Each structure stands twice: as C-alpha cells, then as structure tokens.
Amino acid sequence: MNKLIIIVLFILLCVLLAFGAGLLFVFSPSGNTFLEPYLKEKLEKDLGMHVDIQTFKLKSGLAQFHILVNKQADVRMRMYYTLWDGAIKGIYQIDAKHFNYYAIEIKDIDIEGNFSGFSQALFVEGKGQISKRKVDYHMRVIEDMPQDMIIKIKDTFLLDMYAKGILDTQIKLNDINPLEGSFSMKSIGAKTNPEAMYALLGKKLKLRVELEAKGSIKKDKISMEAKVDTDMATIHLKDTQVNIKTQSLTSKYTLDIADLTKLYSLIDTKLYGVMQAKGTIKKDKTLKLTGFSQSFGGQISYVFAGQEMRSKMTKVPLINILELLGYKKSFLGQASGTAIYNLDSQRGFIDIDIASFQIKPSTLTRTLAMVLGKDPSRIIFSNTTFHAKIKKEWAEYTLDAKGTRSGIKIKKGRFNKISHAHTAKFHFIYEDYHIQGKITGTIENPKVTLDPSSLLNATQKNKLKNKLEKILGTKAVDFLKGLSF
C-alpha cells in the first residue's frame, strides 16, 4: 500500500510541473476533470491494478483525492505543496475489508499516516491495523525509490493454514517494485490447526508451535532460516526457499526429538529415547520429507510423502531397536531392512534381515541348557529374517532363524500396539532336539511356555523328563509353564 502513496505523490507533482503556465486551468474544475484520465492511466500502469477515481481536486497549494484500487481498497489523501521549492506534506488513509496484492491476500486494513519532504527526498510513515493487528511503519523515498522501509507488525495472526497464532514481525524493504528486502519474526501462543493437520498428515494434531525466523524477500521468493519448536520436536530449517505465488517450499532441516514418546499421537506407536535426524523438506501439492538418523547405531533413512512413511535401516544393533520400541533387550544382532506404513489406513509391513542373531542369557536359555547340554545363548544364528504385517492396532509377525545345527521358527506371532498383548508359537531346533512352545504376556514382559511332549520320539521325551525331574523333582512341568526371557 505504501507503493500507492508514493506513486500518487509523484504523479501529482509531475502533473503540476508539466502544466507550468496553465496552472489556472489545471486548478479549475474543468482542469481537474481533464487530468483525471491521465491520473487513472498512470496509476493503473504503475500499480498493475484497476483504479477508479472517486474524487480528484487540485488547487493551488493543495491536492486531495479519493480512489478505489482493485475495487477493494479505499484510499484518501490530502497533500499540501509548494512549487518553488518542491516541498510536500500531507496525510492519507487506507481502508479495505480485504485486498489482494499479487499472491498475498490482506484482510481488514485500517491505516492512516503522513508524509513530508521534497520531490527527491520524502519521508513516509503510518500506523493502524491489518487483520485487526497493530502495524507501524516508516520509510524514506529517494528519487522515487523507497529506502530503509521498516514495517513492524505486532500480534499478527499467523496466516498459514497449518497453524494459528500470533506473530511479531519486522520487515525491511529496499524496494517494492519488485518486492525486495529482509524480515524477522517470532510467534506467540501459536498452535497447529487440527483440521489442516488431518488433511496433511491424517492426524488431528493440536500442538504448541514456537517459531523464530529471519530471511530475505525478492519478488515472490522468500529465503530464510528458522527454528520451529513444538511439543514433539525442535526443527532447525536452513536454506529454506518459499514461493509466495505457488505456496511451494524446499528446505534442509535438522530434527531433534528429546522424548520419542511424544510422537505417539502421530505414528500410533510408542517409541522411547532420543533422536536426531537430518534431511530435506519439499512441499508442493503434498508434503515430502526425507532424512536419515544415526542415533541408534548404523543408519536409518526415511521418506514421508502424502500419507505414507517408508524407512530403510542398515546395520542397526538389534538391542538398540528393542530399546527404542520399549521391549526387553533379550536379543543381539545387526538389523537391516525396510518398513512401509500408511498413516491414513494404519496398515504397513516390516521386512528385516538380522546378522549374527543371538538370544541373551535368561531363565529360558539356562533351562534349555540343562536339557540340550549346550547353552542356547551361545548359539549364533547366521541367517535370520523377520516379517511383520501391521493392520491398525494389530501386528502379525514371523521369525525364521537358521544356524549351523540349530534354528528358531516363530509362527502366528501377534501383538497389539495399544495393549501390548503378545501371543506366538515357536519351534526351537538343536541337533536332534525339537522343542515347541508358546509366548504369552506382553511385549515388555513375554512369558514362554515349553511343551516337552513336542520332542520327536519317546526316547528323547524320557531323556528330557528324567533330566528335569532329577533337577526339579515333581515341579518340572509347572516350571516349564512360567519361563521368561
């Protein structure tokens, strides 16, 4: 809107100087009427918008007018001038319910201000409200070009559809045609819009958002750096590029999550620990986020696009994954594989290969050691695969571990992501021994029940029974029902 004031001031001055000796005619009502088409044409050319002149009066030492810009903004100005030294001073007022300036829509404009100076050096200032928030600005205009334009906006509502709150903003413009300058901003009391977050992520998230940003503006492009702190994480944005017209965005980011349990409302899975990740963000019609993390050993990379998350892990210690998921750290190995999960349908799958899979010592392994003559916790399974299908709150899984003379097969594994209830059937093989059993309890506290009758022949059954009864007496069977990792 400052551009409008500047153009009008200088058009009027040029008109006065151009007519020279014909000033008496110019100052008359007929002269004013004669000048109106010229003023309208010049304004529309320089503003790039439609202009309707409601009132135009030019007298000796005084000019006043009332125009409507784009059928939206009501602009009134009263200017005093002296031709002999080019001195100018005056007041102006701008009102609009809404105003479209290229790709930017501004609502509820109520601005008034003043200007003073000379034809080649003018000072303009103003204050009022935009979107019902306080605005204060000033600038110098040197040879038709704005210089040192400072705009301070207090308590301005965030206009982005994904978050609602208040911004304190300061803008310094070096030029307004084309738009060029710098800015800084800080949010106050901002929260995400649940409905908009549902459209973006499939979740009605209402999160606290604290934003600090600074950057530059050039035409319809914004370059900036920002820090965004939310209930879930802190994000540092770098090399961020925003296209005002298309509302597209690209950026590099660093993500810090101090407590992974805070992600539960987004991913429907409880995670534990801390995480740092780096990557890129791209938003056009949809949001695409890519990145990687080395917080858990090895590397985990991921892509989030639309409603789908894809992840790939490489040589991540299994014990770190179990800790991340909140499970007992009962197994060793290095995991590599892929996972896909859709936030909207809450469906997905996980495929993992585990190198050097090993069971840590426990009541279960010590009991089996009595039977087998070899401690299962010392067996390293060279080839192990894990597959899981996720369907809303339930996940079904299988595990197949193969060693030189041993193996573990888990079939019909099933656990609930909400209650953590866990059931599975397994088959353990070591040389001639085949032991079957089941897993119950929860993911955090699984209970393993062995079935001695699953041995292949009567000789092995009696051998196992005699060994256990020699050690445990008549309580052998009951003991086998309550084993845990």
Q: Mind listing the pLDDT tens digit for each residue in 394-420?
A: 999 999 999 888 999 998 899 888 888
Residues 183 and 172: beta-carbon distance below 8 Å: yes
Q: Where are the alpha helices (DSSP H) in 98-216?
A: 194-201
Position of tokens 């004013």? 32
Contacts of 470 by beta carbon, 8 Å cutoff, 6+ apart: none
Q: Is the peptide bond before 178 cis (omega within 30 degrees of 0)?
A: yes
pLDDT in the model for residue 387: 95
Residue 84, SS3 per DSSP: coil
Position of tokens 């299962």? 376
Q: Burial level of 94, CB count in 10 A (0-12/13-18/19+)?
A: buried
| Domain residue spans of the chain | 296-485
Mean pLDDT for back-to-back runs of 10 residues, the chain (485 residues)? 53 51 54 73 78 82 84 87 79 85 72 83 84 78 68 61 75 74 84 79 82 89 92 93 88 94 82 93 89 93 90 94 85 94 88 93 81 83 93 91 90 86 89 85 82 56 59 54 49
CA–CA distance, 32 with 187 (Å, rounded to integer) = 48
pLDDT in the model for residue 463: 60
pLDDT in the model for residue 22: 47
pLDDT in the model for residue 424: 92
Write down the pTM of the prediction: 0.66
Residues 158 and 143: beta-carbon distance below 8 Å: no
pLDDT in the model for residue 355: 94
What would the pLDDT profile of 40-85 be if each residue is shown by its tens digit?
A: 887 777 777 888 888 888 777 888 888 888 888 888 888 887 867 7
Backbone angles phi, psi at 16, to 5 degrees: -60, -45
